[in-house]
Amino acid sequence: MSILKQPFAPARLALPVLLALSAAACAENVSDGLAEAAPQTASAGVVQTVLTTATRAQPQEAAQQWRWQTVATGLNHPWGLAFLPDGRFLISERSGDLRVVDAQGRISAPVTGLPKIDVGGQGGLLDVVLDENFADNGRVYFCFSEPGSGGNSTALAEGILSPEGGRLSQVKTLFSQAPKVRSNRHFGCRIALAPGYIYLGMGDRGSRSEEAQNLGSHIGKIVRLSRNGSVPADNPFVQQSNARGEIWSYGHRNIQGMVLDAQGRLWASEHGAQGGDEINLIAAGKNYGWPVIAYGKDYGGGQIGAGITAQAGMEQPLYYWDPSMAPSGMAFVGSNPYGNDWHGVLLAGSLKFGYVARLTLDGDKIVHEEKINVGERVRDVRQAPDGFIYIVTDSSNGKLMKLLPR
């Protein structure tokens, strides 16, 4: 299994250039010396474009080779992956089941005790994360599509996993997105834990409306909660009467990856439409633009909103893909068996093209991208306590896989 290296273009390739390229060229073979249009901004009703230049070289074969070892097969659209202290894996399936998988790849019967889940479309049982003190308290956090009056919603719950892994007890819903809507799309549902807090990323539920900009709604937001589900007093909109106190950031289309770095900062990936998938460094109270600003086009080629890519008061992505690669789970690599040059890199799965992106950072900037080919839709990427990288693949015969040197 080879890694394809793609040296990074210092600035984002903007739409006037990208629309001139074929999808295949954008994905694998972008030539040098492209003129780039900087973000188009709306100012006093006038769209302004400032030209800059950027260079992106063709992908190259990496010197070191890697292979994926299949640990287990037969999972039904696995979504989230967690590592139990005894070496087993806890894996959620979008079909509504939670499974324990052992090191030999044997898949358990469904864990009992889950709440009612609205399975359909993109909804179901989605992310799963273990409490940092799981070995002592057995606590598991999970995200799911919750049915209810008016439709369904993204919801976060906790429960205690029995020692043998067969049952959840003391299940409690910590958060439910409001309002509920009739949609089976864009739940988000990625979880990240910080000391004393829990972050939950959500989507816009497939709406092209301004709901992601509405602080009176949880739709299209990242929320930050205390571990018991209460609203922290220092959340950015707690004192704003027309806002939901849980909101940490807003203007998101569909959060699919979320992870904290070694400094405790929150990073998130989200899906664009036809182009414009993003990685953002999330800060309290910031507006990430959707659907007012976006890179890429709407499905079928139409523009999104006013067709602008920047506006005052809205954050620019640190990195974006056009065409879309459909990012999924993310992980920062700490100590590892892959070599010193892997330390601190950011990994992001690709659903659309079936690879893991290995992203090298210089400070807060992503300066280099390599593609570790998988050949299947990658739903989640995690680093195990022993340092090895594991993924789950999204299909009705989904796999748990481990990255090894060839």
Q: Which residues are catalytic?
A: 186
Starting at the edge strand found earlier in the chain, the sheet holding 221-226 runs 190-194, 197-201, 221-226, 247-250
- What are residue 266's DSSP bridge partners? 260, 282
Residue 267, CA distances (Å) to 86, 151, 309, 364, 372 in order: 29, 30, 20, 10, 21
Using the Cα atoms of residue 228, residue 233, residue 235 and residue 238 in order, give the sign of their dihedral. Answer: positive
Residue 184, CA distances (Å) to 150, 187, 196, 271 in order: 13, 8, 31, 16
User: What is the Rg, in whole angstroms, of the alpha carbon atoms belonging to the chain?
Assistant: 21
- What are residue 64's DSSP bridge partners? none
Instruction: Tell me the one-letter amino acid at 274.
Output: Q
| Strand, helix or coil for residue 273 | strand
Query: ω before 323 within 30° of 0 (cis)?
Result: yes
- What are residue 104's DSSP bridge partners? none
In whole angstroms, what is the distance from residue 90 CA to residue 68 CA? 20
| Alpha helices by DSSP H, 320-377 | none
Dihedrals phi, psi of 26, to nearest 5 degrees: -65, -35
H or E element, residue 225: strand 221-226
In whole angstroms, what is the distance from residue 30 CA to residue 9 CA? 10
Residue 158, sorted as left (phi over 0), alpha (psi -120 to 50) or beta, turns out to be beta
> Which residue is it, tokens 């972050």?
199
